[in-house]
């Protein structure tokens, strides 16, 4: 889940953020990049400087530049809070992510001014007139790249009014979190094991093509394999296979290739360690070639799932189907879209 926090100055966004962090959320702020840049420029970290530099960045690099930067830091296995969203294009960029929601945090203006005086933060204003003038610049502007909090507010599906104690605010956060749907998506088993195979492929030492296979029984991985030269032989990327290192034409000279195929290695590895693969399922990043297909059939594997077509696998596919093996293509690129 990704929670984007938007709100007026001293409304309590920081308190909401700290409370959610205690519940396992990771904190990210669009303002962090601005603060680092101010240090580099030797400027004091005042709210005026943050606003001015943020507006400058949006004008020169796009109104959602800060959101784009922070999105690169978001990991899909963690719940995250994204703070300091102040432009509608930033808000839309966050909303474009899966399972993302925006929360508007607000409080009466005089209450917020009193909080501002109490916290005595570096760079905060000192008078109510200054407070109102600065807030007016944040709420709306004719410059589309400037802060536009009121426009951001319209994009927020959820709202919290923080006009009382911290305890009551925490209760409001708890109540709101119960209303937010848990719409995260889990990959199918085929997608899951194919993605594992793609990671295994990164271990391949073949300089022509990186391929991997994973053998599964009862939803449990029993063997993996990737293409490369045989055990104890110089790796392909170190010059171990003359054909690959000469970048020979695809489909020709295959009888001279010293690299073992991924499916071959997965099956051989299971035999080497005494693990049965009969009635198992094989997941491979490329459809099996004819040689590997014959090994798959004789090993008793009942299903083959692959991500991409192998250039020379028409005969192999026919053979697998003739042997009664279920053959499924899952295009991970299309699923990602």
List active site positions: 263
Instruction: Name every residue whose Cβ is closer than 8 Å to that of residue 25 and which is 6 or more positions away in sequence.
Output: 3, 17, 79, 80, 81
Is residue 24 left, alpha or beta, with left meaning phi > 0 and alpha meaning psi from -120 to 50?
left
- In Å, what is the CA distance from 270 to each residue of 91, 224, 273? 50, 8, 5
Q: Which two tokens stand for residue 323?
A: 């042997």
Is the distance from CB of 230 to CB of 207 less than 8 angstroms?
no
Helix (H, G, I), strand (E, B) or coil at 11: coil
Nearest to 256 by CA among 271, 226, 272, 236: 236
Is the distance from CB of 320 to CB of 288 less than 8 angstroms?
yes
In degrees to the nearest 10, what's the CA dihedral of 251, 256, 262, 264?
110
Nearest to 307 by CA among 334, 277, 289, 271: 334
Longest Cα pair distance anywhere in the chain, in angstroms? 83
d(CA 46, CA 36): 13
Nearest to 6 by CA among 142, 116, 154, 129: 154
Q: Which two tokens stand for residue 336?
A: 């990602």
Indicate the length of the chain as a whole number: 337
Nearest to 22 by CA among 100, 81, 98: 81
Is the distance from CB of 10 to CB of 115 less than 8 angstroms?
yes
């Amino acid at each position: 889940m990704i929670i984007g926090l938007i709100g007026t100055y001293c409304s309590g966004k920081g308190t909401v953020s700290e409370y959610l962090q205690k519940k396992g959320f990771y904190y990210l702020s669009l303002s962090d990049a601005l603060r680092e840049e101010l240090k580099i420029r030797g400027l004091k970290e005042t709210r005026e400087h943050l606003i001015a530099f943020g507006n400058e960045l949006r004008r020169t690099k796009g109104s959602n530049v800060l959101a784009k930067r922070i999105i690169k830091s978001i990991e899909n296995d963690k719940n995250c809070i994204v703070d300091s969203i102040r432009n509608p294009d930033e808000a839309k960029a966050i909303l474009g992510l899966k399972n993302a929601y925006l929360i508007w945090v607000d409080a009466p203006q005089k209450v917020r001014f009193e909080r501002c005086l109490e916290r005595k933060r570096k760079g905060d204003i000192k008078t109510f007139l200054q407070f109102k003038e600065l807030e007016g610049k944040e709420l709306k502007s004719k410059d589309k790249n400037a802060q536009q909090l009121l426009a951001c507010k319209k994009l927020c599906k959820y709202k919290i009014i923080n006009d009382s104690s911290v305890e009551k605010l925490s209760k409001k956060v708890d109540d709101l979190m119960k209303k937010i749907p848990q719409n995260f998506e889990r990959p199918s088993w085929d997608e899951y094991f194919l993605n594992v195979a793609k990671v295994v492929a990164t271990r391949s030492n073949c300089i022509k093509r990186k391929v991997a296979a994973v053998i599964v029984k009862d939803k449990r991985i029993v063997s993996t394999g990737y293409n490369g030269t045989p055990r104890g032989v110089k790796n392909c990327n170190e010059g171990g296979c003359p054909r690959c290192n000469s970048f020979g034409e695809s489909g020709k000279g295959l009888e001279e290739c010293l690299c073992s195929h991924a499916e071959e290695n997965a099956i051989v590895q299971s035999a080497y360690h005494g693990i049965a693969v009969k009635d198992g399922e094989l997941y491979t990043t490329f459809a099996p070639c004819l040689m590997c297909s014959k090994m798959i059939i004789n090993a008793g594997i009942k299903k083959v799932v692959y991500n991409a077509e192998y250039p020379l696998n028409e005969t192999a596919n026919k053979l697998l189907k003739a042997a009664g093996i279920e053959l499924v293509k899952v295009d991970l690129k299309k699923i990602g879209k």
